[in-house]
Amino acid sequence: MSLHAPRRFARRLLIAMVGLWLAGAAAAEPSQAQRAAFKQAYAAAQQGGDGWRSLAGNLQDYPLYPYLEAAALTHDIRQIDRARVEDYLKRNPGLIPANDLRRDFLTELARRQDWDNFLAMYQPGLGDALACSALQAQLSRGATLDFNRDLAALWAKPKLPGACDPVLAAAHDQGLLTTQRLWDRIDAAADANQPGTIASIAGWLPPDQATSAQRIASALRDPSATIAAAGQWPDAPRERQAAMLALERLARRQSVTADAAWQKLQDHFSFSPEQRNRVLYAIALFHATDYDEGAIARLIALPASVQTDVSREWRVRAALAQLDWKAVLAAIDAMPPTQQQDGEWRWFRARALNELGRDAEAQRVLASLAQESSFFGFLAADKLNLPYGICPLPFHADPQREQTLLANRGLQRAFEWFAVDMPRQARREWAAALDGADPETLKQAVAIATRQGWYDRAVFTFNTGDALRFYEQRFPLVSQDGVVRQAEEAGIDPSWAYAILRAESAWMTDARSGADARGLMQLLPATAALVAKRNGLDWGGGDTLFDPVVNIKLGTRYLAQMAERFNGAPWLASAAYNAGPGKVDQWMEARGSLAPDVFVATIPYKETREYVARVMYFAVIYDWRQHGNAVSMAQRLTPIGQAYRLPDDHSERRLVSCPVVAPSAPTEAATAPPASNVAAPSTTSNNTH
């Protein structure tokens, strides 16, 4: 027998034992009774005290148990002492609730001005407010500030929390905030549109300079009033800066008024070439977004060094609004090669070439574009009567890696939070558990999440490159939430309803925008109440919109209202869902004779343009997911004024095939609320539904 045989046997035995342990860890899923007990105990813990303990007697091994004590301590933060907090931190090192508790208790210690205990517990990297509190603690001990060591990084930020005010005041008293440093921060704040920062430090400048700083703040706050007063200012460097900023900002709101003001002020101030160019750029750009006469000429006249991708694309859009196909082609030719490769500009290059009788050139552009899975790729395929180029990527399971993931305590906590209907906390644990994970590990984690009904994980994880081809995971068909049935009852295309839901919330049931739009289809409570009343449905208040069944029932009815207003056209109704029906009426009045693709390209709001294209693309994907083929994009984009017919057995359907060489999928830009904003996502900046 080999001398190494016992060692090999021991090693194999150890591997087998670890495997059994992992399998056991993965299989030990908490029971529904434990989950119910946790939710009850957690609600009690959030009220403070120790009452939660009697409700959590059998939960010591439950993955979320540490959150109970942390919730109670957080509620009682003003009564507890350092010893209790440190005892919890020692027992739960590195856990999210421990880190949160440390941060909350440090904030409380700063409020108490208990600086000795604060410094004993403080750790760097807990945010600007606590960093400033740490400096305040050092000052309380008689320390002096060193600008480069203590303040340089904070000073460079255009906005700071109120906790930094005492530190900045101390820095001023120590003479560290020189005039040059003050102006450096004012310039940074001006670039970041933070007038409050400027106003708060202007008083530390010499009196004559303080007035100039306040004028810069005024330019950001009220450009109209600033421009009205600017004619009486001296022609000094900082006044020129203030006037330039006011003109830039006024151009965004009222391009014609800004243009007239520029004609007066350009002779009053000796603007530098850079300042002149910034004003001329803003005026030209926003004349274009207003589709004013002469907008194209203004954009062309801008110096090449001033032009940007945005100004070049608006040159195309302005030409499209006029149906000036020569100007469209010239504007696309003026773009740098990388910008020309965008699907939108390839499509409109082909459109322009067709309109100018250069059909062979157009065909070559369309043939390449038609292979791509995108809004414009599908339009190109329709034009050439080709199948849609959709190339699903096979999803291969890795059982060993999956078992390892199921044994990961952080992921266990993530899945448990999801199981008890608290997805915000689930996302935090997910992010922490998978921080730095390789793509294959992320893929297997998504597979587990998808099986458990946690669909948004695929949307946020598979958002670039070849991962976009995981269509089954990225576009789930969730029958239990009733999308198809509710859409059919509302009289709309289920694929379109799926697409709106997917674009609005990315399947985040707790999605909530800054405008308070809620749930899967992002409905405002007031709108939902009206929809419920109009359709004779029960209404239980705004929080019921976080229930997928309620949200989808009301959301599909609201979609039906939008569709009815616009002759059933889902593309126009999608624009109304995003920007509001009143805005769509205005755009139709101005450019309602344009073909649908051109009309979409001339929507003034970037967000709404991209939203409409994204929703219509998603509708095709969902149609294909349900039926194996899809109603053509051309049929979905009915001309303005023409009645839209719901898909039926007579509808033209496109087959789907994978091109011989599948093109790399483009990054899915703005598909869903950004992952960094998962607690309160907003897919629109002006939700009106």
Q: What is the pLDDT of residues 33-50, one digit of tens each?
A: 999 999 999 999 999 999
Q: 17: helix, coil or strand?
A: helix
Does pLDDT of 1 surpass 50? no
d(CA 378, CA 371): 8
Does pLDDT of 8 surpass 70? no
pLDDT tier at 25 (50, 70, 90 boundaries)?
Answer: very low
Q: In this structure, are residues 577 and 689 in contact, taking their beta carbons and an 8 Å threshold?
A: yes
d(CA 537, CA 254): 43
d(CA 613, CA 587): 17
Q: 45: helix, coil or strand?
A: helix
Q: Rounded to 5 degrees, what are φ and ψ at 654?
A: -90, 135
pLDDT tier at 18 (50, 70, 90 boundaries)?
Answer: very low
pLDDT tier at 6 (50, 70, 90 boundaries)?
Answer: very low
Instruction: Choose among 161, 190, 129, 191: nearest CA to 199.
Output: 190
d(CA 670, CA 573): 19
Using DSSP bridges, classify how beta strands 653-654 and 630-631 pair: parallel, antiparallel or unpaired.
antiparallel
Q: What is the pLDDT of residues 337-379, one digit of tens each?
A: 999 999 999 999 999 999 999 999 999 999 999 999 999 999 9
Instruction: Choose among 319, 230, 236, 244: nearest CA to 280.
Output: 244
**pLDDT at residue 27 in the model:** 47
Q: 657: helix, coil or strand?
A: strand
Dihedral (CA of 393, 396, 401, 402) sign: positive
Instruction: Choose among 121, 116, 192: nearest CA to 156.
Output: 192
d(CA 658, CA 574): 29
Q: What is the pLDDT of residues 394-421, one digit of tens each?
A: 988 899 999 999 999 999 999 999 999 9
pTM above 0.85, yes or no: yes
Q: In this structure, are residues 302 and 280 in contact, taking their beta carbons and an 8 Å threshold?
A: yes
d(CA 632, CA 596): 14
**pLDDT at residue 124 in the model:** 95
Does pLDDT of 157 surpass 70? yes
Mean pLDDT across the stretch 492-506?
97
Domain boundaries, the chain: 9-140, 399-469, 477-677
Residue that has been written with the tokens 């929080």 in this structure: 543
d(CA 537, CA 529): 9
Here the tokens at position 131 are: 């960093």
- CA distances, 331 to each of 314, 328, 335, 339, 510 (Å): 9, 5, 7, 11, 43
**pLDDT at residue 678 in the model:** 30
Residue that has been written with the tokens 């409050």 in this structure: 196
Q: In this structure, are residues 465 and 665 in contact, taking their beta carbons and an 8 Å threshold?
A: yes
Least confident of 64-78, 134-148, 206-220, 643-657: 643-657
Kind plus residue range of the DSSP H or E element containing 194 = none
687 dihedral zone (left: phi>0; alpha: psi -120 to 50; beta):
beta
Q: How many CB atoms lie within 10 A of CB 76?
A: 14
d(CA 475, CA 622): 7
d(CA 99, CA 104): 9
Q: What is the DSSP letter of 151?
A: I
Q: Rounded to 5 degrees, what are φ and ψ at 199?
A: -60, -35
- CA distances, 54 to each of 44, 62, 232, 439 (Å): 10, 15, 73, 43
Q: In this structure, are residues 640 and 442 in contact, taking their beta carbons and an 8 Å threshold?
A: no
Q: In this structure, are residues 371 and 663 in contact, taking their beta carbons and an 8 Å threshold?
A: yes
Q: In this structure, are residues 361 and 599 in contact, taking their beta carbons and an 8 Å threshold?
A: no
Q: Rounded to 5 degrees, what are φ and ψ at 634?
A: -60, -40
Mean pLDDT across the stretch 139-158?
96
**pLDDT at residue 324 in the model:** 98
d(CA 145, CA 135): 8
d(CA 613, CA 374): 9
Q: How many CB atoms lie within 10 A of CB 542?
A: 17
d(CA 381, CA 657): 11
**pLDDT at residue 479 in the model:** 77
Here the tokens at position 563 are: 């569709």
Share of the chain above pLDDT 90, in %: 89
Residues marked as catalytic: 504
Q: 406: helix, coil or strand?
A: helix
Please provide the CATH number assigned to the domain covering 477-677.
Answer: 1.10.530.10
Q: What is the pLDDT of residues 665-689, one digit of tens each?
A: 455 543 444 333 333 333 333 344 5
**DSSP one-letter string for 471-524:** HHHHS---GGGTHHHHHHHHTS-HHHHHHHHHHHHTT-TT-B-TT--BTTTTB-
Q: What is the pLDDT of residues 600-659, one digit of tens each?
A: 999 999 999 999 999 999 999 999 999 999 999 999 999 999 999 999 888 889 999 998
**pLDDT at residue 661 in the model:** 54
Q: Rounded to 5 degrees, what are φ and ψ at 512?
A: -150, 120
Instruction: Choose among 102, 31, 99, 98: nearest CA to 68.
Output: 98
Residue that has been written with the tokens 């001005």 in this structure: 113
Q: 439: helix, coil or strand?
A: helix
Kind plus residue range of the DSSP H or E element containing 298 = helix 295-301
Q: Rounded to 5 degrees, what are φ and ψ at 635?
A: -70, -30
Q: How many CB atoms lie within 10 A of CB 545?
A: 28
Here the tokens at position 408 are: 């990961």
Using DSSP bridges, classify how beta strands 388-389 and 656-657 pair: parallel, antiparallel or unpaired.
parallel
Mean residue pLDDT of the chain comes to: 92
Q: How many CA atoms lie within 13 A of 227 on its CB side?
A: 23
Q: In this structure, are residues 152 and 184 in contact, taking their beta carbons and an 8 Å threshold?
A: no
Q: What is the pLDDT of residues 258-299, one digit of tens each?
A: 999 999 999 999 999 999 999 999 999 999 999 999 999 999
Mean pLDDT across the stretch 467-496?
93
- Burial label for 303, CB within 10 Å (0-12, 13-18, 19+), is exposed
